[in-house]
C-alpha cells in the first residue's frame, strides 16, 4: 500500500492506514484531555496522529507551540479545503498557537503547472477565505514557498540526507521529478517554525488529510537526522478523514463538478449538487418510515457532520434519520438552507478581507 499526496489515492480504509503505517489512533483519552476539543476531535474526524502527545503537553502546560499548514493555490477554496483551514484557526484561537500558513505555490507549479503570477491571485482569494474563517494575521506567519529562502535552505539541507531509494519507497515512482523536490520543500515548511528566527525548537502540529502522511514521515525522519545540529523537536501531525464526493464518489474531484462545490460558487449551482447527492435513504418513503435511513452511507449527513458546528443539530438529524422520522427530501432541503446561510455570511466576511489578503501577500 502506498499513499500518494498528490492524488489522494490509496485511501479507502482508515483502520488499515493505522495498521500499515503506524499512525497512532486518536482515542478518547486524547479528546477528553483537550480543554476545548473542536468538532473535528469530538466527532472522530481526526482519527490519527503522529507524536501529538508533545503538542498536547504544550497545550496543557500553556507552553508555546505552533500550527503549520499549507494550501496549494490551485483553485478556489472548496468544501474539502475547509477542514485544514479551520484547524489552523482552532489552534491559534483556542490555545494561542503561532500559526504558519504556507502558500505552496512551488507545488502548484510542479504539480499543476500554474505560473506564479496566477497562483498569486488564487492565493489572495484563498487567504481571504482563511481570514474570514478567523485567522488572526498578527499572530501568524504567512508566506509563499517560492519567496521563503529559509524553507529553500532547509530543503537543500534535508536533500543531503535523502536517497533516491528513500523517495521512491515513500512516494512511489513519480514521473515528474519536481514532485520529489517539492516534497523536500514541504520538509522545509514543516521545520520552519523551529528555525532560530522563530525562537527555535518548539512543538509543531501539522493538521493534514491522511493522504499527506508521506510528507510527515519524511520530515520526522529528516528532523531526527538534523537533530544534533538544530535540536529539532520532532514535528507532530494529526490526520483527518477526507470528506467524500457528494455524488457518491469516494473523493471530491474537479473532474467531477457534482462531487463538490467551491465556496465562491453561486448558490443556485450548489443547490442541485446537494439535492441530487447520494443519501442513505430507503427506496420508498414507507420503508424509510419503517426501517429508518442509513446516515453513514449518506453524503448529506456527511456534509452536516463536517460543516455544521451545532452538535445537537447533527445528533438530531442522526436520530430522526435512523428512527424513520426524517425523509430524505426534507432533510436535503433543510441542510441546503443551513449551508446556503453559512456560505452567504462567509462570503460577506471574505469580501471584506480581500484587500488585507492582498496586502499581506504583496509584502512578502
Q: How far is the CB of 337 from ligand SF4 (least distance, A)?
A: 13
Identify any residues that bridge with 140 across adjacent strands, giving them in sequence order: 99
Q: How far is the CB of 59 from ligand SF4 (least distance, A)?
A: 34
Minimum CB distance to ligand SF4 smaller for 332 or for 350: 332
**Whole-number Å distance between alpha carbons of 25 and 17:** 10
Give the interface size with ligand SF4 as a residue count (CB under 6 A): 14
Q: How far is the CB of 361 from ligand SF4 (least distance, A)?
A: 40
The DSSP line for 29-97 is HHHHHSSS--HHHHTT-EEEEESHHHHHHHHHHT---EEEEEE--SS--BTTHHHHHHHHHHHHHHH-P
Strands 66-71 and 98-103: parallel
Q: How far is the CB of 269 from ligand SF4 (least distance, A)?
A: 20
Query: Which residue in 127, 121, 60 sits closest to 99, CA to CA?
Result: 127
Query: Which residue in 41, 145, 26 sits closest to 86, CA to CA?
Result: 41
The DSSP line for 24-48 is EE--HHHHHHSSS--HHHHTT-EEE
Residue 226 found at the interface with ligand SF4 (CB under 6 A): no
Residue 303 found at the interface with ligand SF4 (CB under 6 A): no
In this chain, which of 79, 127, 331, 343 binds ligand SF4, going by CB under 6 A?
A: 331
Q: Report helix, strand or coil for 217.
A: helix
Contacts for 334 with CB less than 8 Å, ≥ 6 apart:
none
Whole-angstrom distance between the N-terminal and C-terminal Cα of the chain? 40
In this chain, which of 51, 214, 235, 281 binds ligand SF4, going by CB under 6 A?
A: 281
In this chain, which of 280, 303, 314, 360 binds ligand SF4, going by CB under 6 A?
A: 280
In this chain, which of 120, 260, 301, 306 binds ligand SF4, going by CB under 6 A?
A: 301
Minimum CB distance to ligand SF4 smaller for 251 or for 332: 332
Minimum CB distance to ligand SF4 smaller for 330 or for 355: 330
C-alpha dihedral (148, 73, 181, 236), degrees to nearest 10 = 80
Q: How far is the CB of 275 from ligand SF4 (least distance, A)?
A: 10
**Whole-number Å distance between alpha carbons of 225 and 239:** 24
Minimum CB distance to ligand SF4 smaller for 127 or for 298: 298
In this chain, which of 99, 170, 321, 339 binds ligand SF4, going by CB under 6 A?
A: 321
Q: How far is the CB of 329 from ligand SF4 (least distance, A)?
A: 8
Of 40-48, 182-190, 209-217, 293-301, the segment contacting ligand SF4 by CB under 6 A is: 293-301
C-alpha cell at 161: 540526507
Q: How far is the CB of 254 from ligand SF4 (least distance, A)?
A: 25
Residue 317 found at the interface with ligand SF4 (CB under 6 A): yes
Q: How far is the CB of 359 from ligand SF4 (least distance, A)?
A: 43
Contact residues: ligand SF4, CB under 6 A? 279-281, 293, 295, 298, 300-301, 317, 321, 326, 328, 331-332
Amino acid at each position: 500500500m502506498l499513499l500518494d499526496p498528490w492524488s489522494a489515492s490509496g485511501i479507502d480504509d482508515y483502520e488499515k492506514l493505522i495498521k500499515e503505517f503506524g499512525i497512532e489512533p486518536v482515542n478518547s483519552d486524547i479528546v477528553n484531555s483537550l480543554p476545548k476539543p473542536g468538532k473535528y476531535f469530538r466527532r472522530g474526524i481526526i482519527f490519527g496522529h503522529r507524536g501529538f502527545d508533545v503538542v498536547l503537553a504544550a497545550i496543557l502546560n500553556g507552553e508555546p507551540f505552533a500550527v503549520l499548514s499549507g494550501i496549494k493555490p490551485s483553485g478556489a477554496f472548496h468544501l474539502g479545503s475547509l477542514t485544514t483551514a479551520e484547524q489552523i484557526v482552532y489552534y491559534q484561537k483556542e490555545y494561542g498557537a503561532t500559526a504558519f500558513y504556507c502558500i505552496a505555490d512551488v507545488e502548484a507549479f510542479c504539480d499543476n503547472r500554474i505560473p506564479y503570477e496566477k497562483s498569486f491571485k488564487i492565493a489572495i482569494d484563498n487567504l481571504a477565505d482563511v481570514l474570514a474563517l478567523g485567522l488572526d494575521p498578527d499572530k501568524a506567519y504567512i508566506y509563499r514557498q517560492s519567496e521563503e529562502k529559509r524553507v529553500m535552505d532547509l530543503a537543500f539541507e534535508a536533500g543531503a540526507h535523502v536517497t533516491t531509494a528513500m523517495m521512491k519507497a515513500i512516494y512511489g515512482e513519480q514521473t515528474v521529478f519536481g514532485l520529489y523536490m517539492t516534497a523536500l520543500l514541504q520538509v522545509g515548511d514543516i521545520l520552519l517554525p523551529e528555525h532560530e528566527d522563530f525562537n527555535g525548537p518548539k512543538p509543531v502540529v501539522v493538521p493534514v488529510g491522511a493522504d499527506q502522511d508521506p510528507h510527515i514521515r519524511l520530515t520526522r525522519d529528516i528532523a531526527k537526522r538534523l537533530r544534533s545540529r538544530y535540536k529539532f523537536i520532532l514535528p507532530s501531525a494529526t490526520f483527518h478523514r477526507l470528506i467524500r464526493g457528494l455524488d457518491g464518489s469516494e473523493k471530491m474531484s474537479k473532474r467531477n463538478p457534482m462531487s463538490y462545490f467551491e465556496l465562491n460558487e453561486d448558490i443556485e449551482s450548489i443547490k442541485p449538487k446537494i439535492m441530487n447527492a447520494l443519501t442513505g435513504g430507503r427506496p420508498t418513503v414507507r420503508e424509510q418510515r419503517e426501517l429508518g435511513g442509513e446516515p453513514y452511507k449518506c453524503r448529506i449527513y456527511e456534509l452536516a457532520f463536517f460543516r455544521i458546528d451545532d452538535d445537537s443539530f447533527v445528533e438530531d438529524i442522526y436520530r430522526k434519520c435512523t428512527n424513520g422520522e426524517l425523509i430524505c427530501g426534507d432533510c436535503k432541503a433543510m441542510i441546503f438552507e443551513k449551508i446556503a446561510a453559512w456560505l452567504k455570511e462567509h462570503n460577506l466576511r471574505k469580501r471584506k478581507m480581500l484587500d488585507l489578503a492582498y496586502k499581506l501577500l504583496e509584502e512578502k
